[in-house]
């Protein structure tokens, strides 16, 4: 009897990636196709939704070209960038470009509508990230768009509809839009009414791991697959990353070192707190608690692009890493507050901005670079402390993935700042592996998602904290945590002045 294979798609912010995994959790095929993001105005980020499908189709074809027996493929599961959505007309065509999770246009809506009641229902502290506030922005600024809007689709819904023809999605995939009541797991009539929407505009909800039906015959044929390949309801890329790292119980947390940085851990029930955002878990009956900061690898990439080797175009620079690694803990007196894109957990302050203090004539590019990495690490430790305090349970193990996990310097800084070992997976397919675990469970290869997650998880290295460095970083953390408190009012004034001058510029 042939061993089954599953396809897992990760349609992220930058690319659609596809992997093929066997019943043991081993990778046997891969493919990827880049996605283009446009910025038509400051702080706006958009994509063309049809590109999600075009890129997914190409990535799957690439992955399939690497296997011999396409008839062994039994299922496909999708994970995806969260909060991103597209408005579709009655013919199921996009009315406008999709608005991405990192889009910042809804700052005013966040402050106006992000009440305690909205936060309690949705489980998400008021921030520009959830889709709800961008839907409110569309209601107020593009009424014609919303008048024509027949359906609203997140990335998972859009792709699985393309595959099956069904408007059904996982609750874990739709939840980041912030329209689901965390207490019931179903759409909140109160939140829908706030946005001027109705549940008929959204997909029906099912648990992660549910079969959504077979692939459309024309797609199965074009991919060279059997007609009985099932599409399995997936989950968002954060929850999927946790599965790909084997994070399925409360004592372990995942650390996503991507464009944004996320710490995530499982909880057995919904516990409201501003110390994290609550997401419906990929595992039934559980909640995924996540801290969030939008300045992850974005920040060192920005620095390398603006001040690094121009020939590298922002890519990792071995010389810069080496020079920064040679510096002592604390970057010889430089301390950075990494709020280049506002502050998220635990401040949830879109008016915050970045600060670097302690400049002297001895400082170099390497000092600034290291200070950025240390600042993000301090922020993450503050978030981890808040998460642990709010839920009353310590995280014993941290497992890291994402582009930042490939930096030996940064992972060592993180281990030192966290004061505990950091298990690192340098693979770029961790979220897709999580989706593969869901698919393998759905076809009966494993009895539960945690069992499948343990089978697919891989650890490339374990970084131990250095005692002396951990002690020095503890001293610096105390100072770091004072910076925002003591400069917040000034940063708000500076933000408002900038907004005033941007408006005047537009009028001219």
Give the C-alpha distances (Å, rounded to integers) separating 48 from 41, 55, 396.
Answer: 16, 11, 41
Residue 156 lies in a domain: yes
- H/E segment holding residue 264: strand 261-267
pLDDT given at position 496: 86
At residue 385, the 3 state secondary structure works out as: helix
pLDDT given at position 462: 97
Half-sphere exposure of 122 (CA within 13 A, CB side): 29
In angstroms, the first-to-last Cα distance of the chain is 72
Residue 424 CA to residue 235 CA, distance in Å, equals 22
Residue with tokens 């925002």: 484
> Which tokens belong to 447?
């009895």
pLDDT given at position 505: 39
Phi, psi of 291 (to 5 degrees): -90, 160
Residue 193 lies in a domain: yes
pLDDT given at position 504: 40
For residue 1, pLDDT over 70 is answered with no
Q: What is the mean pLDDT of residues 198-209?
A: 98
* DSSP summary character for residue 466: P
Phi, psi of 468 (to 5 degrees): -65, -45
Residue 11 lies in a domain: yes
The pLDDT > 70 percentage for the chain reads 98
Contacts of residue 501, Cβ cutoff 8 Å, sequence gap at least 6: none
Among 65, 50, 81, CA closest to 7: 65
> Which tokens belong to 175?
């939840």
Residue 192 CA to residue 149 CA, distance in Å, equals 14
The pLDDT > 90 percentage for the chain reads 90
Residue 203 lies in a domain: yes
- Virtual CA dihedral for 18, 22, 24, 26, nearest 10 degrees? -50
Residue 425 CA from chain centroid, whole number: 17
pLDDT given at position 294: 87
Q: What would the pLDDT profile of 296-334 be if each residue is shown by its tens digit? A: 999 999 999 999 999 998 889 999 999 999 999 999 999
The tally of domains found in the chain comes to 1
Residue 441 CA from chain centroid, whole number: 23
Phi, psi of 321 (to 5 degrees): -60, -45
Residue 384 lies in a domain: no
Q: What is the mean pLDDT of the chain?
A: 95
The domain containing residue 212 runs over which residues? 5-236
Q: Which residue has the higher pLDDT, 465 or 503?
A: 465
Among 47, 40, 43, CA closest to 13: 47
Give the model's confidence band at 502: pLDDT under 50 very low, under 70 low, under 90 confident, else very high.
Answer: low
- Virtual CA dihedral for 283, 287, 288, 291, nearest 10 degrees? 180
Residue 130 CA to residue 224 CA, distance in Å, equals 38
pLDDT given at position 484: 94
Residue 56 lies in a domain: yes
Residue 17 lies in a domain: yes
Among 209, 202, 263, CA closest to 235: 209
Q: What would the pLDDT profile of 356-373 be if each residue is shown by its tens digit? A: 999 999 999 999 999 999
Instruction: Provide the sign of the torsion angle of the four alpha carbons 131, 270, 12, 66, taken in this order.
Output: negative
Q: What is the mean pLDDT of residues 396-402?
A: 93
pLDDT given at position 508: 30
Q: What would the pLDDT profile of 147-173 be if each residue is shown by its tens digit? A: 999 999 999 999 999 999 999 999 999
Q: What is the mean pLDDT of residues 66-86?
A: 97
Instruction: Provide the sign of the torsion angle of the four alpha carbons 63, 68, 69, 72, taken in this order.
Output: negative
- b/e for 257-279, b at 16 or more Cβ within 10 A? bbbbbbbbbbbeebbbbbbbbbb
Q: What is the mean pLDDT of residues 165-182?
A: 98
Q: What is the mean pLDDT of residues 398-411?
A: 94
Q: What is the mean pLDDT of residues 423-446?
A: 94
Among 125, 508, 62, 57, CA closest to 350: 125
Pairing label, strands 287-293, 261-267: antiparallel
Among 333, 258, 248, 260, CA closest to 293: 260
Find the CATH number of the domain harbouring 157: 3.30.420.40
pLDDT given at position 501: 58
Contacts of residue 64, Cβ cutoff 8 Å, sequence gap at least 6: 7, 20, 29, 31, 70, 73, 223, 224, 225
For residue 180, pLDDT over 60 is answered with yes
Q: What is the mean pLDDT of residues 116-123?
A: 98
Residue 220 lies in a domain: yes
Residue 436 CA to residue 445 CA, distance in Å, equals 11
């Amino acid at each position: 009897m042939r061993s089954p294979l599953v396809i897992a798609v990760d349609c992220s912010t930058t690319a659609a990636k596809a992997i093929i995994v066997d019943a043991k959790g081993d990778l046997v095929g891969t493919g990827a196709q880049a996605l283009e993001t446009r910025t038509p105005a400051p702080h706006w980020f958009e994509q063309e939704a049809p590109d999600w499908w075009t890129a997914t189709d190409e990535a799957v074809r690439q992955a399939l070209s690497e296997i011999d027996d396409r008839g062994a493929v039994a299922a496909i599961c999708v994970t995806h960038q969260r909060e991103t959505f597209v408005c579709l007309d009655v013919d199921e065509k996009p009315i406008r470009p999709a608005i991405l999770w990192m889009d910042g246009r809804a700052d005013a809506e966040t402050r106006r509508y992000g009440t305690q009641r909205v936060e309690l229902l949705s489980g998400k502290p008021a921030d520009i990230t959830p889709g709800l506030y961008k839907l409110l922005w569309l209601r107020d600024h593009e009424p014609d768009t919303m008048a024509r809007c027949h359906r609203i689709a997140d990335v998972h819904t859009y792709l699985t509809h393309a595959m099956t023809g069904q408007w059904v999605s996982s609750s874990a995939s739709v939840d980041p839009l912030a329209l689901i009541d965390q207490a019931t797991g179903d759409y909140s009539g109160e939140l829908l009414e706030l946005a001027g929407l109705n549940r008929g505009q959204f997909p029906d909800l099912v648990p992660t791991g549910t079969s959504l039906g077979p692939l459309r015959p024309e797609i199965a044929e074009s991919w060279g697959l059997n007609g009985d390949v099932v599409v399995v309801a997936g989950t968002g890329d954060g929850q999927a990353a946790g599965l790909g790292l084997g994070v399925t119980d409360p004592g372990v947390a995942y650390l996503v070192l991507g464009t944004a940085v996320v710490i995530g851990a499982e909880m057995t029930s919904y516990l409201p707190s501003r110390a994290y955002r609550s997401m419906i878990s990929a595992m039934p009956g559980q909640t995924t608690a996540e801290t969030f900061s939008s300045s992850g690898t974005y920040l060192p990439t920005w620095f390398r692009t603006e001040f690094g080797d121009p020939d590298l175009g922002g890519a990792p620079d071995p010389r810069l890493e080496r020079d920064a690694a040679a510096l002592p803990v604390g970057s010889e007196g430089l301390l950075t507050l990494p709020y280049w894109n506002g502050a998220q957990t635990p401040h949830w302050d879109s008016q915050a901005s970045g600060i670097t203090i302690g400049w002297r004539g001895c400082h170099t590019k390497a000092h600034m670079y290291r200070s950025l990495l240390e600042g993000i690490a301090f922020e993450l430790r503050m978030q981890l402390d808040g998460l642990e305090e709010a839920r009353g349970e310590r995280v014993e193990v941290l497992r890291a993935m994402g582009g930042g996990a490939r930096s030996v310097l940064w992972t060592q800084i993180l281990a030192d700042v966290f004061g505990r070992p950091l298990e690192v997976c340098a693979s770029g397919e961790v979220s897709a592996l999580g989706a593969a675990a869901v698919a393998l469970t759905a076809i009966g290869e494993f009895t539960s998602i945690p069992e499948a997650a343990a089978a697919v998880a891989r650890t490339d290295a374990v970084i131990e904290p250095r005692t002396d460095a951990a002690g020095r970083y503890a001293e610096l953390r105390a100072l770091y945590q004072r910076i925002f408190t003591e400069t917040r009012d000034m940063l708000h004034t500076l933000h408002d002045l900038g907004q005033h001058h941007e408006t005047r510029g537009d009028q001219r």
